[in-house]
């Protein structure tokens, strides 16, 4: 019994009910907290563990989801929902083989459940497809890249095409404005111009170092945006609020331009075209979603295939491998998509030395730059995502001191107010996709800096309406099967 005469088990059930309500309201951090309190009172209830696993999945904390589902299975080896939850988390991580093992276990426990059998068959098909693609990829070492074999001049523009056109070789502001309006009206860019933009931006990006130094002149301004995630109409709103990018109004977009939101093609062509027009007015960092594995699961690959073709999917993958990994603004502010490292002593020169022209590896500096997260504590901890590391305020302060920097700006995590200041003011998370995935209800934000002081001025904004195409419309259908 606790102080008010209620048993711990009763109190735990009340907390579970409150957590379920928070979950239904898309308040996933609150749900995790309430399930955690229920688990503290009654750690042998498998439902609490499985429900918290599902809440972690919604927060993209797949490592934590796997750990919670595994705990539920340890308590009850025949608890079907534990295998479901763990399998779904593995799917979200792209670990199809591990997911398949869990769905096979579900089928053994409930062999006559038609829903379980349907999901098992879908997962088996996905694994077979993955094995086939791996077999093809293993023989592709000598394959000529799309970029090196494609001549966009040979692609005919039909007389019936009335959309935005690039006259000659140069991307102009008039073209970009026309293209953005066409996109706003849900009309497509001709593939010739899409390929042209991709080839031109690839050339620009390839010439950049892995760590880009940006110099903002005296009294100049600079804007940093976080994840946009295919939310094109919110990107247009940022430009309404803060002006179009230009050499006088420069922007850095800090990764995760694509996936989840269903207007990723429109976002990425807008940003890439602006980069072509203003090489020193638009800076782009790679995020963890600028990768083949993420694009295959979270919608970008499906969207490019639906709006263009497979060849363009391959060219996007090549261009994403050219994106820089981090930026330093005026020698003071370190901007990176994810975060810091599993070891101390990393210098800016180590980041400059990274050979980034590949798909992101599963470990090492490049992986950690794209995937790590801060946490409210000291030292390091396992990442909730199951990839890279969680780092504390002491790690942040040591990295800044070692490299004579003042501040870290990173993105990678949805925040209710669009931003969060942590680690005694030395680290800011900025996230620029409001009402993320059409359901989180969060605000978006961007950060403005002015030289020479370079103090962060955070601007918060709300989501704007978009056409009736839901988030994840092009995502791998396995994800929708598992909620």
Beta strands 251-253 and 221-225 are: parallel
Give the alpha-carbon dihedral of 383, 388, 393, 399, to 10 degrees: 180
pLDDT digits (tens, 9 = 90+) for 20-65: 999 999 999 999 999 999 999 999 999 999 999 999 999 999 999 9
pLDDT reading at 5 higher than 60:
no
Per-residue pLDDT, 483: 58
pLDDT of residue 196: 98
Residue 411's pLDDT is 98
Phi, psi of 224 (to 5 degrees): -110, 125
Residue 120, pLDDT score: 83
Residue 131: per-residue pLDDT:
76
433 SS3 class:
coil
Please say if the pLDDT value at position 3 is more than 60.
Answer: no
Among 126-135, 223-232, 415-424, the least confident range = 126-135
Tell me, what's the pLDDT at 96?
A: 84
Per-residue pLDDT tens over the stretch 356-396: 999 999 999 999 999 999 999 999 999 999 999 999 999 99
Give the residue extent of every domain in the chain. 8-138, 148-481
Token output for 363? 């470990």
Q: List active site positions.
A: 289
Residue 435 has pLDDT above 80, yes or no: yes
* Cα 13–Cα 23–Cα 470 angle in degrees, nearest 5: 160
**pLDDT by residue (tens digit) across 120-129?**
888 888 778 7
Contact 477, 301 (CB under 8 A): no
- Conformation bin of residue 441: beta by default, left when phi > 0, alpha when psi is -120 to 50: left
The rounded distance, in Å, linking the Cα atoms of 454 and 436 is 29
pLDDT given for residue 121 in this prediction: 85
- Tell whether the model's pLDDT for residue 1 goes beyond 60: no
**pLDDT score recorded for residue 141:** 58
The mean of the pLDDT values for the chain is 94
**Mean pLDDT on 265-283:** 98
**154-189 confidence digits (pLDDT tens):** 999 999 999 999 999 999 999 999 999 999 999 999
More confident residue, 261 or 482: 261
Q: What is the pLDDT, as a whole number, of residue 182?
A: 98
CATH of 8-138, one of 1.10.1740.10, 3.90.79.10, 3.40.50.2300, 1.25.40.10: 1.25.40.10
CATH topology for 148-481 is: Purple Acid Phosphatase; chain A, domain 2 (3.60.21)
- Does the global pTM surpass 0.85? yes
- CA separation for the pair 250, 217 (Å, rounded): 11
Q: What's the alpha-carbon Rg for the chain, to the nearest Å?
A: 23
Report d(CA 326, CA 338) in Å as an integer.
Answer: 10
């Amino acid at each position: 019994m606790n102080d008010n005469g209620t048993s711990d088990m009763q109190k735990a059930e009340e907390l579970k009910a409150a957590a379920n309500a928070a979950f239904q309201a898309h308040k996933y951090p609150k749900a995790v907290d309430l399930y955690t309190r229920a688990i503290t009172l009654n750690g042998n209830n498998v439902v609490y563990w499985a429900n918290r696993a599902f809440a972690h999945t919604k927060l993209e904390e797949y490592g934590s989801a796997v750990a919670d589902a595994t705990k539920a299975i340890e308590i009850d080896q025949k608890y079907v929902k534990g295998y479901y939850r763990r399998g779904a988390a593995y799917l979200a991580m792209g670990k199809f083989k591990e997911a398949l093992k869990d769905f096979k276990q579900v089928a053994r426990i409930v062999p006559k459940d038609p829903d379980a059998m349907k999901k098992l068959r879908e997962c088996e098909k996905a694994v077979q497809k993955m094995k086939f693609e791996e077999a093809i990829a293993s023989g592709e070492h000598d394959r000529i890249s799309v970029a090196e074999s494609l001549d966009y001049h040979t692609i005919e523009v039909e007389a019936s095409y009335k959309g935005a056109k690039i006259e000659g070789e140069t991307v102009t502001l008039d073209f970009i404005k026309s293209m953005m309006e066409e996109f706003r009206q849900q009309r497509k860019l001709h593939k010739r111009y899409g390929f042209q933009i991709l080839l031109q931006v690839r050339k620009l990006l390839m010439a950049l170092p892995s760590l880009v130094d940006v110099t903002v002149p005296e009294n100049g301004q600079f804007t940093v945006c976080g994840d946009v995630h295919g939310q094109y109409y919110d990107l247009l709103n940022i430009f309404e609020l803060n002006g179009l990018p230009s050499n006088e109004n420069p922007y850095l977009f800090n990764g995760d331009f694509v996936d989840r939101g269903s207007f990723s093609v429109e976002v990425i062509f807008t940003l890439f075209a602006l980069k072509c027009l203003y090489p020193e007015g638009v800076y782009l960092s790679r995020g963890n979603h600028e990768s083949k594995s993420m694009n295959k699961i979270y919608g970008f690959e499906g969207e490019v295939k639906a709006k263009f073709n497979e060849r363009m999917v391959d060219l996007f993958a090549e261009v994403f491998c050219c994106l820089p990994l981090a930026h330093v603004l005026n020698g003071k502010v370190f901007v990176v998509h994810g975060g810091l490292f599993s070891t101390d002593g990393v210098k800016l020169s180590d980041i400059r030395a990274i050979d980034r022209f590949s798909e992101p590896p599963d470990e090492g500096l490049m992986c950690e730059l794209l995937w790590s997260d801060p946490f409210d504590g000291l030292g390091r901890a396992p990442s909730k995502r199951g990839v890279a590391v969680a780092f504390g305020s002491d790690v942040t302060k040591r990295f800044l001191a070692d490299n004579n920097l003042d501040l870290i700006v990173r993105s990678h995590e949805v925040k209710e107010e669009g931003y969060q200041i942590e680690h005694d003011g030395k680290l800011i998370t900025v996230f620029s996709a409001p009402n993320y995935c059409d359901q989180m209800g969060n605000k978006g934000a961007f950060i403005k800096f002015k030289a020479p002081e370079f103090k962060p001025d955070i601007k918060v904004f709300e989501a704007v309406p978009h056409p009736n195409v839901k988030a994840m419309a092009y995502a791998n259908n396995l994800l929708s099967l598992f909620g």
